[in-house]
Amino acid sequence: MNTLNNFFKDTLIYGMATVLPRLMNFLLVPLLTVTLENEDYSDNTVFYVYAAFFNVLLTYGMETAFFRFFSKHQEKEKVFSTAFISLTFTTVAFIVCVYLNSAFLAQWVNLKQDYFNLLIAVIGLDTLVVIPFAYLRATGKPIKFSVIKILNIALYVGLNYFFLWFIPQTNWSLGFLDYSHDLVTYVFIANLVASLFTLLLLSPYFFKTKWQFDTRIFKQLIQYGWPIMVAGLAYVINENFDKWLIPQLLNKDINGAYAACYKIAVFMTIFIQGFRLGAEPFFFNHAAQKNAKQTYAVIMKYFVILGSLMLVFVCVYLHLFKRLIVRDDSYWIAINIVPVVLLANLFLGIYFNLAYWYKLTDKTRYGMYFSVLGAGITILLNYSLIPVIGFMGGAYATLAAYAIMVVISYLYGRKYYHIPYDLTNILIYLGLGIGFSFASFYIFNSDLYIGSLLLFLFLGIIYIKERKFIAQFL
């Protein structure tokens, strides 16, 4: 029980470092959905789809490889300088080559020239600080790491409110700002300023060690990092392919509504991210204990319980959340995707929980295989479903991809690292959570009385079945 208490404490501590920046970024959704037209919000979404893709491509797994070799290598300074020089060189080369062909490339990715130039500048700055950020984590400086991350997002959010709310409200004139059109540009400018500010804060770490490039270490980093890059690209496809494809198969207005309503699922995303940050060091540190597998099984069960409870809670009060978060009712045409996306994210969290079997057995290539499979399913189903059933096809494609990844990972995990999951109760809680949430939203049209009754019924079932564990844990 003490082990589980420590796990939940670690998850809470790590989770707060993630939750706070995400919540601050979440504050932008009401602002952007009020000030931007659906088409502009779609452009904003596509901008960050490309940013996510290029961030993975430009770091090519070097961040995780750095952690792996910095912790065990005696020549730590060489690991740092080699990784930093590698990313700096490739990033600068990428920016130069892209800017020389920016007109063609902007047209090819269907972005305005100004948007594309800002995109390249932002991802270039963000890539340059990857290794300094990793160095802070590897050397045990979580406070400094968190403070800089929070300052970055605070500046980004603050500038958005300054550009899109404060200046229009106060009629304060800035000669270089034209508010007659294209407001989304200022969202990207805010990101560029925040990224440049972060680079300046981390610039002392560029000169922390003697610059030396070790070819042997570089080969080790690349060999370890490239499968992670492939898995990362697959993950970006799973998360973003629908938001890239919908403008092409349907239109930008629908994509703007789809992307805005998709944001409501951030509650589940924050829960999963906090869990991951706490779970990863815990799972590795306790792998050698005799009861490790039993502990992992208990954690999975209560992860599903909490995730299912959150699914029901958000679905029951979804019509309240949409008024608080997505305030322009023109975006509400896509609100039906939210329960599906929430469930998809819950399956993603279950997959992350299952995934430790291949990390603990050093069979990390399976993570790449599963991610690529999920990406293939995502692409196939998006192209198949969206033309037939519209934007709901994107949500169902994401759900199907993550559900299949869960099943396959579970089956392979039983073979290579069997964990005695309480499968019966896990399926009961998951089934009840899905049934109550979908009944509340789709059948009873989010009737608050019926939905609240279902929520309290679910809580009662959890308490009756788990009261001994809850009392012991408390």
Q: What is the pLDDT of residues 106-135, one digit of tens each?
A: 888 888 888 899 999 999 999 998 888 888
Amino acid letter for position 296: Y
Sign, Cα dihedral of 353, 358, 360, 365: negative
| Region 350-375 average pLDDT | 82
The count of other CB atoms within 10 Å of the CB of residue 217 is: 21
Say whether pLDDT at 201 is over 80: yes
Amino acid letter for position 454: L
Q: Are 160 and 190 in contact (CB under 8 A)?
A: yes
pLDDT band at 405 (very low <50, low <70, confident <90, very high): very high
**Maximum separation of any 2 CA atoms in the chain, in Å:** 68
The count of other CB atoms within 10 Å of the CB of residue 192 is: 17
- Within 8 A by CB and 6+ apart from 466, the residues are 305
* 127-131, 380-384, 468-472: which is most confident: 380-384
pLDDT band at 420 (very low <50, low <70, confident <90, very high): confident
Say whether pLDDT at 73 is over 70: no
pLDDT, position 4: 54
pLDDT, position 147: 82
pLDDT band at 174 (very low <50, low <70, confident <90, very high): low
| Region 135-147 average pLDDT | 76
pLDDT, position 206: 78
Q: Are 15 and 274 in contact (CB under 8 A)?
A: yes
Rounded Cα distance between 413 and 371, Å, is 15
State the residue for tokens 């896990």: 426
Say whether pLDDT at 20 is over 60: yes
pLDDT, position 317: 92
Rounded Cα distance between 270 and 290, Å, is 31
pLDDT, position 176: 56
Say whether pLDDT at 57 is over 80: yes
Say whether pLDDT at 408 is over 60: yes
Q: How far apart are the first and last CA of the chain?
A: 10
| Region 281-296 average pLDDT | 65
Percent of all residues in the chain with a pLDDT value above 90, rounded to a whole number: 34
Angle between helices 252-262 and 38-59 (to 10 degrees): 70
Which of 74-88, 400-414, 438-452 is the least confident region? 74-88
pLDDT, position 299: 83
State the residue for tokens 């989304």: 184
Q: Are 255 and 247 in contact (CB under 8 A)?
A: yes
| Region 405-418 average pLDDT | 90
Mean pLDDT for the chain overall = 84
Say whether pLDDT at 17 is over 90: no
Say whether pLDDT at 383 is over 90: yes
Of 37, 23, 326, the C-alpha closest to 184 is 37
| Dihedrals phi, psi of 287, to nearest 5 degrees | -65, -30
* Greater pLDDT, 393 or 48: 393
Q: Residues 247-268: pLDDT tens digits?
A: 989 888 999 999 999 988 878 8
The count of other CB atoms within 10 Å of the CB of residue 153 is: 19
Burial of 132 (0-12, 13-18, 19+ CB in 10 A): buried
The radius of gyration computed from the CA coordinates of the chain, to the nearest angstrom, equals: 23
Q: What stretches of 274-398 adopt beta strand conformation (E)?
A: none
Rounded Cα distance between 251 and 108, Å, is 18
pLDDT band at 205 (very low <50, low <70, confident <90, very high): confident
| Region 270-294 average pLDDT | 65
- Within 8 A by CB and 6+ apart from 365, the residues are 227, 358
Q: SS3 for 217?
A: helix
Say whether pLDDT at 398 is over 90: yes
Of 299, 239, 236, the C-alpha closest to 268 is 239
State the residue for tokens 């770091």: 59
| Region 38-53 average pLDDT | 88
Rounded Cα distance between 18 and 287, Å, is 25
3-state class percentages of the chain: helix first, strand second, coil last, to nearest 5: 85, 0, 15
| Region 133-141 average pLDDT | 77
pLDDT, position 407: 94
Rounded Cα distance between 105 and 119, Å, is 12
Q: Are 263 and 326 in contact (CB under 8 A)?
A: yes
pTM beyond cutoff 0.85 = no
pLDDT, position 388: 94
The count of other CB atoms within 10 Å of the CB of residue 368 is: 19
- Within 8 A by CB and 6+ apart from 122, the residues are 51, 188, 191, 192, 195
User: C-alpha dihedral over 59, 62, 64, 66, to 10 degrees?
Assistant: -140
Say whether pLDDT at 179 is over 60: no
